[in-house]
Amino acid sequence: MSQLTALILAAGYGSRISDVTTDPKSLLKINDKSLMDWHFEALKAVGIRNVVVVTGYKREVLESYLSKFRKDFDITFAINDDYRVKGNTYSFYYGLEKTEGDFLLFDADLIYDTNILSSFVQDASKNQILVGESSIDDIECAKAMIDKDGFVRMTIDKRAVTMEERQQLKFVGEAIGILKFSKSYRDDMYNACKSFLSEEENISKNWEHVMNEFLLNHNMNIHQAVSDRWVEIDNKEDLEKAKRLFE
């Protein structure tokens, strides 16, 4: 586990929760601790020291806040200064430039039980997507769809699953926003992002789009979360749910 790098995407503005905070979204407080506090506590508990954080919106505020973790972590910053135009595929790409070996990818707007992360990193599979319980009819969730061999071939976010997709693939839950990549898959993903971003129409797209292209010819296993104590915080309702779950 100590050889893994954690890559945290934290450049975005968080427009859907801007009525709650004007600080970077990853500094939202859940019962007196920011989301970043929760991330770094979990990383420390599982023995991960190398962390790459992609910053953008109010990056000076976030980078200053994270300086308190330097005594326990080797922290590197990647910067997406044009975060309002360049979607988080660019953030992913910039983060990959600072990442060399096996790594874990995190969306910053998550809170999760440490046991979930511990189980995930201890799983022997080097290329995996962490999946939690959800419904195929939940439009908002990132629905993980596997083929007959059990590999994820698509995630479907913020739209309904078509009948054709239901016939070809099996729904297994929600992709929480934590993934594991081996070094070779890291190299392939870096090249995939570079190619994807060479097309002007892809500049503002989120990394799930390039991930779906990647999944067509890369075998990613699933790891089922051992607990339902996790929340992706997109809006005020998610924030209140997180406060209740993590009292």
Phi first, then psi, for residue 123 (nearest 5°) are -65, 135
Answer yes or no: is pLDDT of 243 > 80: yes
Residue 178 has a pLDDT of 98
Per-residue model confidence as pLDDT tens digits over 131-143: 999 999 999 899 9
What's the rounded Cα separation, in Å, for the pair 91 and 228? 28
What's the rounded Cα separation, in Å, for the pair 236 and 223? 28
What's the rounded Cα separation, in Å, for the pair 218 and 189? 10
CB proximity list for 244: less than 8 A, separation 6 or greater? none
Answer yes or no: is pLDDT of 14 > 70: yes
Q: Which of 28, 61, 24, 23 is nearest to 238 (CA)?
A: 28
Q: Which of 169, 172, 175 is nearest to 147 (CA)?
A: 169
Answer yes or no: is pLDDT of 164 > 70: yes
Maximum CA pair distance of the chain?
Answer: 52
Per-residue model confidence as pLDDT tens digits over 91-103: 999 999 999 999 9
CATH match for 5-245 among 3.40.50.300, 3.30.2350.10, 3.40.50.360, 3.90.550.10: 3.90.550.10
Strands 110-112 and 230-232: antiparallel
Strands (DSSP E) found in the chain: 5-10, 29-30, 33-34, 50-55, 74-79, 103-107, 110-112, 128-132, 142-146, 152-157, 170-181, 221-224, 230-232
Query: Which of 197-201, 211-215, 223-227, 232-236 bottoms out in mean pLDDT, i.e. has the lowest?
Result: 232-236
Residue 2 has a pLDDT of 58
What's the rounded Cα separation, in Å, for the pair 201 and 23? 29
Answer yes or no: is pLDDT of 179 > 60: yes
Q: Is the CB of residue 197 less than 8 Å from the CB of residue 89?
A: yes
What's the rounded Cα separation, in Å, for the pair 227 and 45? 17
Residue 225 has a pLDDT of 97
